[in-house]
Structure 1
Amino acid sequence: MAIFKCNACHHIQETSNQYIGKKAQCPKCKEKGDIYNTISYIKELTEQYLLQKKLLDQQAEEQTSTETDLDVLEIHDAIPIDNYDIHNTDIFSKKDHFAPIIKWFNQKYIQATVDPKMMDTRGYFDEAAIYMGTHYKIIGSIIQQIKYIQSKNYTTVKIVLSKYSKEEIKQILDFCKKLHQFTFIARYTHVKKDNIIYLTIQDIPRIKNFFSGMWMEWFVFVKLVTFFKNNDLNLPIVRGAELTFQNKEKNELDIFFLNNQDAPFCIECKTGEFRQDLNKYFELRKKLGIKKEHFLLCVFGLEREQAESLTTMYEITLVNETTLMEYIEALF
């Protein structure tokens, strides 16, 4: 027997094999649903279950992991220059990699806590983030829509394609396929006659956090480590370092690294409204003693001219997703 599944109310029932691959009206809500081969459908459900179990197990590990004392190494020993795959390595999560950063903060009487898993690229978070940042001008609104739907604790996203051009629709469809390939969404359906896409999002905390903003951190992190590798730069870098100052104040840094002269660089990531946070970042820069040229606020979607104008007005440096690496490369 085949299986009928309603895309609206999720009603499931058996039906004849002769209807596999076709659509039918749901007997409960009267909306249309798809008819699947039973074995293929169960196989897909099993794969999704195993994926969610893996992600939940990883999350449990992260919550129970604690940092131990680190052996302090010199900056030039931070990362061995080797033939590693940027998108499939745990080299950046090794304690001897980020030990120089812990030492730098200790010298300023600041306690820095680093979760090694924040730099482990052996999943699909980094690949998805690079795709999202590279094509942000077109798919930025889709990313924001997913983020909004998740914030309301819904799992279905409806994308109306009629307001986009043919080229934009092509890019959006490719994005949805990538999300499905990387298992960030459980299912996507393109209803061609209505020009609508339905996405079913994975209801997993790590996936929610990714769309809520961590994807931007991943984008910047991978861009930087790629630049380091291509230029034989042996630099320690961390993502999501948690700081505790002597007065017990706490801050979290999106991206932090040291250059070969032991000079600190900090990059914070934002999208949407950011103006109310400009003074907060300036105060953080002062507390850390980082030069304006080395403290960057990367605002995704911000126009180049606006970023340049705001940089002259405020005591931090503003860039966007396309000018970030232009700026970094000019400093090295």
Structure 2
Amino acid sequence: MAISRCNKCGNITEHERELVGTSSDCVQCGTATSVYDTHFFVSKLSDMYFALRKELNELRIPSKDSASGNLEKPSEVFDIHNSDMLSSAAQHAPVIEWFKTKNITATANVDAVDTTGFFDEAAVAIGSDYELLGEVCERIRYAQQKEFNSNLIYLDKKSKEDVKALEAFIQRLYDHSLIARCISNKKEKNIRIVLQNAPSVRRFFAGDWLEWYALMIGLRICQERKVEYSCARNMTLSFPSNEKRELDVFFLINKTLPLYIECKAGDFRQELDKYVALRKRLHIDQSCFILCVADLDSEQCKGLSAMYGMTFVNTQTLGQHLLTLF
């Protein structure tokens, strides 16, 4: 599809894709208006929006506690599923300082903890029922990898309850624009999912969903336990050796307790030696250096934890383990 926005009256009109790059008279006021590819137009609009919001967050003056002069604790109640409260340099500062004490330069991606979109809700849904909904995520990921436009979710061998849950979840993905279309075929007992190819959506199904899930589980527990915390996602770590590494999810609890969470929705075994070395480099306790691997069962998690001196969890045991640390 194509789209135009009149600079005079602000009217927005959809056009056929063939009109991209041409000019069309506004249907409301008649002013000549350029026609753009919809994906290009929305991408540019999103870039402007996030740039302005980032600038606003940087300009915010953190409130002070009159007695101690410290920043107010982020454990104050707010909707963790719909807030950009955490998307600021001030919120990330304690994490950056903690890594600085390890002679590591940490660069924050402040937008990576902005939950005003729908990625976090979808991630929690997948992680909370991964045995069922993980199949949808995997079918989408596979189609993306093969550059297919769509893929099928087969329902013929599912129970009525599972079919109902899958249909509701897929409809929710569509409502939140994480897929472009969903076409139900009652006769063939399947649902065709037409992919949404925005880069952020592709990254989500390729594995970002697990990072969002880990972040949201951590935030929920922090609020429930009323602890002071700072958090980060997609932070870049730069080591003195010029090595760079992307951190998946990190929490600093009460300014002293580090929780490092590496998230793996696919193969992880070839990098185990790196994680062992990193844990020792950061001097993080085994219980606080966590590998959340979606496809491991509880027995595998227990065995790998004993072998590698780190804590392995899956989507079902992540929250249980974090509760033991607070």
What is the TM-score when the length of structure 2 is the normalising length? 0.79
**Which residue does 2:46 correspond to in 1?**
58
Deviation at 1:210, TM superposition (A): 0.6
Q: Aligned pair 1:187/2:187, yes or no? A: no
1:256 to 250, 254, 270: 250
Q: Aligned pair 1:221/2:215, yes or no? A: yes
In the TM superposition, what whole-angstrom CA distance separates every residue of 1:281-331 from its partner, at most 9, and x where no partner exists?
Answer: 112212222121110000113111111111111121101111111111111
Contact 2:229 2:255 in 1 (8 A): no
1:1-332 correspondence to structure 2 within 5 Å: 53-55=41-43, 57-59=45-47, 77=71, 79-260=73-254, 262-332=256-326
Contact 2:83 2:115 in 1 (8 A): yes
C-alpha distance in structure 1 between counterparts of 2:318 and 2:81, whole Å: 20
SS at match of 1:197: strand
**Which residue does 1:21 correspond to in 2?**
none
C-alpha distance in structure 1 between counterparts of 2:171 and 2:205, whole Å: 16
Count of residue pairs the alignment pairs up: 285
Change (3 A) 1:135 1:76: farther
C-alpha distance in structure 2 between counterparts of 1:177 and 1:190, whole Å: 10
Deviation at 1:103, TM superposition (A): 0.9
**Which residue does 2:9 correspond to in 1?**
none
C-alpha distance in structure 2 between counterparts of 1:312 and 1:204, whole Å: 40
Question: Which one is further off, 145-154 or 283-292?
Answer: 283-292
Deviation at 1:55, TM superposition (A): 4.9
Contact 1:75 1:260 in 2 (8 A): no
Question: Which one is further off, 128-137 or 154-163?
Answer: 154-163
Deviation at 1:272, TM superposition (A): 3.5
Change (3 A) 1:285 1:75: farther
Contact 1:270 1:299 in 2 (8 A): yes
**Which residue does 2:13 correspond to in 1?**
none
Question: Which one is further off, 160-169 or 58-67?
Answer: 58-67
| Counterpart code for 2:227 | L
In the TM superposition, what whole-angstrom CA distance separates every residue of 1:153-210 from its partner, at most 9, and x where no partner exists?
Answer: 2221122222333332222111111101111011101010111211111111010011
Deviation at 1:230, TM superposition (A): 1.6
SS at match of 1:313: helix
Deviation at 1:148, TM superposition (A): 1.1
| Counterpart code for 2:262 | E
C-alpha distance in structure 2 between counterparts of 1:118 and 1:154, whole Å: 28
**Which residue does 2:27 correspond to in 1?**
none
Deviation at 1:275, TM superposition (A): 2.2
Gaps of 5+ in 2: 1-15, 17-36
SS at match of 2:263: strand
SS at match of 2:86: helix
What is the TM-score when the length of structure 1 is the normalising length? 0.78
Change (3 A) 1:326 1:56: farther
SS at match of 1:85: coil
Deviation at 1:61, TM superposition (A): 6.9
Change (3 A) 1:234 1:162: same
| Counterpart code for 1:132 | I
Gaps of 5+ in 1: 1-11, 13-48
C-alpha distance in structure 1 between counterparts of 2:82 and 2:313, whole Å: 28
C-alpha distance in structure 1 between counterparts of 2:234 and 2:50, whole Å: 13
RMSD between aligned residues? 3.0
C-alpha distance in structure 2 between counterparts of 1:260 and 1:93, whole Å: 19
- Percentage of identical aligned residues: 35
Change (3 A) 1:275 1:219: same
C-alpha distance in structure 1 between counterparts of 2:69 and 2:290, whole Å: 22
SS at match of 2:117: coil
C-alpha distance in structure 2 between counterparts of 1:75 and 1:257, whole Å: 22
In the TM superposition, what whole-angstrom CA distance separates every residue of 1:206-227 from its partner, at most 9, and x where no partner exists?
Answer: 1001111111111110111111
| Counterpart code for 2:263 | C
